[in-house]
Amino acid sequence: MTILVTGGAGYIGSHTCVSLLESRYTVVAMDDLSNSSEESLRRVGKITGKSMEFFKASVQDEDALSGIFDSHKIDCVIHFAGFKAVGESTQKPLEYYENNLASTIALAKAMSEHGCKRLIFSSSATVYDGRNIVAPFAESARTGNCTNPYGWTKFMNEQILRDWAASDPEVSVVNLRYFNPIGAHPSGLIGEDPRGIPNNLMPYISQVAVGRRDHLSVYGDDYDTKDGTGVRDYIHVMDLAEGHVKAVEYAMEHTGEAVFNLGTGTGYSVLEIVKAFEKASGVKIPYVITDRRPGDLAELYSDPSKSAEQLHWTAKRGLEEMCRDTWNWQKNNPNGYEGQRKDD
């Protein structure tokens, strides 16, 4: 069974390649390397002892897609490739809509033309109408009302794929809504390697720990939460990766569109994460409390029961493991895959 993984060199993509290879799938990876490094794929090979084919191309490149589908019998596609920086999406909305929507459409068209009809899409909890619903978020909860163009591209891509599935009884689409992926493969060989200043909490903390950043800014301590700081559903990236393997199995057995949360169902506050990371690393994380970040919500965590029942998947790894593996990756690769970055 052959799986095409778009965005295969990225953070979640590379960890998913490990899980797929370990589950004996043949993997073909595609990535334009605009926000990732081919080194991650070399390390996937090192971890698994298995090889995979790699195509350096954008998913918007229709000729490249045709070339891959013409030369391989692809059974299922996992589509990770896309722009993902929330702040940047508000500065460059047209680039975000163009890239994230055009690539999904080009991919689904190429799949239809080549008779490949199973697609797993990398969606996000950001599609939930978090300002008007209360955690835990089940898949049936209201979506929309997104706070930024990035979120809307996830919302719109889900709809495009839902419509595609409705148009052809052979199509199987699984939209996976991720909560907050953190951690790294326990080998410390692959992990999250953001370019520039990290937007997300865990990579920021780990760069403070390794001395690349001075201190963490905690965005507000006056939320209506256990300690006043924001609460999120952090999930180990290897649990997330294994969720994709389950989604592939699901897509083999079902047609139509399905949506599943990939989260743990447990919420941790920013300060709980800081403490857990300090414990795992033995490094003190200096922080200051600042204003709230615009668009942030107080509390956001999943109801993972549908995934447990229908996808036969639950997250197994706890916060200690998430922090340990993040630290293991960061201390072994203080500057990510490619040494000191020019943009630092």
Task: Print the binding letters for residues 42-81 with ligand UD1: x by CB under 6 A, - otherwise.
Answer: ----------------------------------------
Residue closer to ligand UD1 by CB (options 112, 217) is 217
Query: Rule CB under 6 A: is residue 97 a binding residue for ligand UD1?
Result: no
The CA-atom distances, in angstroms, between 183 and each of 76, 250, 257, 267, 296 are: 26, 25, 29, 16, 22
Minimum gap (Å) between residue 50 Cβ and ligand UD1: 28
Give CA–CA dist 104/164, Å, rounded: 11
Question: How far apart, in Å, are the Cα atoms of 146 and each of 90, 186, 220, 299?
Answer: 12, 34, 21, 16
99-128 mask for ligand UD1 (x: CB under 6 A)?
A: -------------------------x-x--
Q: Measured from the CB of residue 150, what is the shortest distance to ligand UD1 in angstroms?
A: 6
- Tokens at 260, concatenated: 């599943």
For the record, the structure tokens of 46 come out as 């090192």
Shorter beta-carbon distance to ligand UD1: residue 52 or 218 = 218
Q: What is the DSSP string of 234-281?
A: EEEHHHHHHHHHHHHHHHHH--EEEEEEES-S--EEHHHHHHHHHHHH
Q: Which is nearer to ligand UD1, 232 or 244 (CB)?
A: 232
Q: Does 199 bind ligand UD1 (CB under 6 A)?
A: yes
Q: Which of 212, 172, 231, 234 is closest to 339 using CA atoms?
A: 212
Shorter beta-carbon distance to ligand UD1: residue 226 or 293: 293
Does 217 bind ligand UD1 (CB under 6 A)? Our answer is: yes
Considering only 19, 180, 266, 326, the residue that binds ligand UD1 (CB under 6 A) is 180
Catalytic residues: 150
Contact criterion met (CB below 8 Å) for 264 and 185: no
> Of these, 12, 161, 201, 280, which contacts ligand UD1 (CB under 6 A)?
201
Distances (CA, A) of 190 to 120, 179, 184, 187: 22, 20, 6, 8
Residues 230-249 close enough to bind ligand UD1 by CB under 6 A? 230, 232
Cis peptide before 149 (omega within 30 of 0): no
Number of Cβ atoms within 10 Å of the Cβ of 255: 15
Cβ-proximal residue to ligand UD1, closest one: 230
Q: Which residues are at the interface with ligand UD1 (CB under 6 A)?
A: 86, 124, 126, 151, 180, 199-201, 204, 216-219, 230, 232, 270, 293, 295-296
